[in-house]
Amino acid sequence: MKRFVSRAILFHERYFHFIILLPSLIIIIILTLYPLINVLYLSFYHYSYITGTKYYVGLANFIRIFNDRYFLKGLENTLNFSIFATFFELLAGFGLALLFNIRFRGKKYLLPVVILPMMLSTMVICATWRAMYHYEYGIINYIFRYLGIGDGVKWLMDRNIAMWSVIMVDIWQLTPFAFLIILAGLQSIPDELHEAARVDGAGAAQVFRHITLPLLKPHILMVVLLRTIDTLKIFDKVYALTGGGPGTATVTMSYYIYREGFTYFNLGRASAASVIMFVVVAIVSSLYIGYVIRGQARG
Amino acid sequence: MVRRRMNQIIIYLLVAIVLIIVLFPIYWMVTLSFKPPLEYISRTPSLFPIKPTLSHYTSLWEHKFIRYLLNTTIISLSATIISLITGFLAAYALVRFKFPAKFDRFFLLWVLVVKMVPPITIAISLYVILRATGLINTRLGLIAVYQVYTLPYCIWMLLGFVRDVPMEVEEAAAIDGASRLRILRSIVLPLVAPGLVATAIFSVIISWNEFIYALLFLRTPSVFTLPIHIATYITEYEVLWGELMGIGLLSSLPILIFSGYVQKHLLRSFAMGLK
């Protein structure tokens, strides 16, 4: 009996790390690995949840999607959103970081205020911006009219402007994200480096171009990759601000999948669209993951 | 001297502009929640409520605000507790032990991949799973599904915190004959506690604000979370702004209180892809 107990303990001690990793492993497999494989499998089927029909259709879903103007528009909108939101967030975040890298009084108390938008729920933010964007009663159009710039803009109803209005909200909410990363980068540059360059007779612009910018490259890269990956997923702002409209002006990839899968219950076609979206995001993500792994290997 | 003064003025001017851009929408939310309807449905809105009213806040109780608040709290706390426990164990195993065939590297790589996967792309499969297990439209189902967000996040965050625990302390305890579990519980756990708290808060914030899965997997209002409640409000009532802003403000307060506390950990969590 005694021997049995000690053996049990030995087993426990020996496989301790497997045992404690197991719960996470099981959760991750059930909730991510299996669903991804299942989505790939379903993408080759016609599968309607409403009629309950399910049969193999080969590549038909994919062919159908690539001829679907709604999807192609969604792909185009997603890429536009991603590129412009990322670009302006980086730009604004960079400017903000340069400002906060200067010494001024009260900075310590302002930092938490500046990152406030990032902590708020996207739905709360969308509710507020919807009120501000409102054509008749919104404060933005009121200011426009007050200043005599036209009779107001249909921020969310004009097909040429709606996407920019959504991008604007994303910039407002997530510029702090770019700001914090760039600021950390700026603060990691030793002051002596700048001073040395100054002593050698370099002007402010030269110091910025030849010293600050090259040293910030990893931080800029990180902002660009993380923001690109995140903006490619855009769904909640579109859902709450425009509902994909007007027309197809703000339809995105995520929104297309939502519509196919959860309003029409065309699970096969929605799965095929999911696979396409996964591939698009995976291309950008692999750059980021490669970058993280190299970073881990270095230190 | 004059030039320095000028520079100072320019800096403060820029800071003021930044503050107006950042704070105005938040200020506007607060103002609207205290304005009577006649004031906010107006082509000439005032900067302050002229006749401030609390009526929107009192009517929130009738709209079962507490129920949504309770749902959100239960769901985000439960999801966090599960992820924190399993994530801590996993992080410890991955940092302190060698796995055969580089299994640990593959596992971590996969966890990182999961952080990048767009949530909507696996939503179809998760929907099928939830339907099959009868967990669709339940809080328990949402808690389970939220592990997609919170668990990878907790593992990556805690990995760093566990690495910071000095090996020597653990070795000394092992020589004294303490079991693995004992070492984990009475030596590692207290040392990682501050990291656990920071991780927990971020995890709560993620689930508190989560939208897509709540929208897809919850169908009846009795189980709705706050973001879904707000979304329903937005789409159903075009300009009932007073109450909407009241809900928005009240549902943001818990997050804002906590976020101040964990600020210094913010950057570390970004590297792990909080957003």
For A98, nearest residue in chain B (alpha carbons):
B11
Q: How many angstroms separate the CA atoms of B203 and B79, rounded?
A: 8
In the A/B pair of chains, how many CB contacts fall below 8 A?
267
Identify which of A270, A222, A257 has the alpha carbon closest to the alpha carbon of residue A78: A257
A101, A187 Cβ separation under 8 angstroms? yes
Mutation site, A32, A241, A296, interface B, largest B CB count within 10 A: A32
In angstroms, how far is CA A26 from the centroid of its own chain? 27
With a cut of 80, say whether residue B271 has pLDDT above it. Answer: no
Count of CB atoms situated within 10 Å of the CB of B163: 12
Identify which of A221, A112, A139, A129 has the alpha carbon closest to the alpha carbon of residue A170: A129
Would the CB atoms of A289 and B116 count as touching at under 8 Å?
Answer: yes
pLDDT tens figures, A238-270: 999 999 889 999 999 999 999 999 999 999 999
What's the pLDDT at A299? Answer: 43
Q: How many angstroms separate the CA atoms of A239 and A167, rounded?
A: 13
In sequence order, what are the beta bridge partners of A278?
none
This prediction's pTM: 0.91
Q: How many angstroms separate the CA atoms of B114 and A25, rounded?
A: 13
B76, A175 Cβ separation under 8 angstroms? no
Inform me whether the C-beta atom of residue B25 falls under 8 Å from chain A C-beta atoms: yes
Q: Higher-confidence residue: A153 or A13? A: A153
Burial class for B74, CB neighbours closer than 10 Å (0-12, 13-18, 19+): middle
Mutation site, B8, B44, B120, B146, interface A, largest A CB count within 10 A: B120
Mean pLDDT confidence for B29-37: 93
B225, B65 Cβ separation under 8 angstroms? no
Inform me whether the C-beta atom of residue B173 falls under 8 Å from chain A C-beta atoms: no
In sequence order, what are the beta bridge partners of B217?
none
With a cut of 60, say whether residue A12 has pLDDT above it. Answer: yes
Task: Say which DSSP state B117 is in.
Answer: S
Mean pLDDT confidence for A202-218: 87
Q: How many angstroms separate the CA atoms of A80 and B173, rounded?
A: 57
What's the pLDDT at B230? Answer: 93
Would the CB atoms of A16 and B97 count as touching at under 8 Å?
Answer: yes
The DSSP result for A232-247, as a single string, is HT--HHHHHHTTT-ST
Mean pLDDT confidence for B92-117: 90
B70: three-class secondary structure by DSSP: helix
Amino acid identity of residue B107, one-letter, is F
Mean pLDDT confidence for B251-258: 86
What's the pLDDT at B63? Answer: 78
A111, A187 Cβ separation under 8 angstroms? no
What's the pLDDT at B273? Answer: 45
Q: How many angstroms separate the CA atoms of A201 and B211, rounded?
A: 54
Q: Higher-confidence residue: B129 or A207? A: B129
